[in-house]
Structure 1
């Protein structure tokens, strides 16, 4: 089973790129972030024609998450508990072939310091509480998406330039570590512990050509999924396509298509 996450940075504006990548990479499940689309304008017909079912939680500006699957799925949750006033579309969760998968778009948090940074930390705490409850289910679970966190200096080009950025602040990295320490495994680092691997390159300053990137898109796996992990890679070349997102798709491969037998 091949599972991917991709911050598409506008699902309608980048639809040709998304469809091209779906055809060439043929993932079984895809988590999308930053749809920038209200629910009623999500391109379901095109997604269906590409061979995928879809559930989505849209929003007009900047947010929005979706899960695409070649298999039928059951939606489990949209949004996180803990803040009844939070209307941002940043989390959706489904059951697919014995797998629970949560697709998330964690707040950027800039500028630091400020209310956006505080919102990021509060959202992180809500995610951590939910993640802990998922581990208690003793089921195969994946939490994937754009975490807007560079966990270590290995995950950023020239880390000294990012000390006061919300994606690299010590408080945010500590929150990510605390989440992982619940019992999750970072798939990329599990298979590539010492490699410089990036998933995002800014549109400015010729970042992609210089490989001046960041690793902010992550797969966190529950113990049952780690046992099945075969590969974890980034389709970096997609970032070089015309009119593409500033992120590249990240994907993992698990043994088998049915995960019910743990």
Structure 2
């Protein structure tokens, strides 16, 4: 049976400075992690946001086609349904005057799940992401939870939405080492158990080595290299990939 895919073809994003993302193609496959790497300002986060057409003010997606298993779809048909987004700063993703239960109820209502069935599903999804004190978490507001807990809550909401694809924009950059390791363990567990297809935007090659199946390398708004993770680490073809790997080697004091 063919593996379900989500493809982005020919993405262009423009701002006052001109073209910022230039003809980017990406493909996600269920059960696999595609890492999108590059230096700061390379366009990787914009490409992630542009896929769902949730760009910051002043930027616009001028071209780009989404295909689910070869069928063209608009971004609003994909956003929150086929694909959920995890942001670098999870606190900004939550309404500060609404608790976690309110966010969960809204997500489940869109799926037609309400009442006792909604509470059961909330408990199941929070348990799946390792949020054990479920009653306290659901009654908490964003400012009352740690960054790591909010990242887990965002994944729980994605599970409630039953999204087969997950877009994660620098999800570990604001976490300490312990929280980062826990988050990555959780992510890989859910990829295996729920066959999530993940786009993982990062500049951390240690995260890439641990999680990715395939890697796309961005430079100046364009994808300049595509490889399997093993191919990239063994024989990087682009200057950007070599620089990122050299930095990883220096930070870790060993060969990548």
TM-score range, shorter chain: 0.3 to 0.5
Structure of greater relative contact order (alpha carbons < 8 Å, 6+ residues apart): 2
- Give TM-score scaled by structure 1 length: 0.35
More helix, by proportion: 2
Q: Specify the structure having the higher radius of gyration (Cα).
A: 2
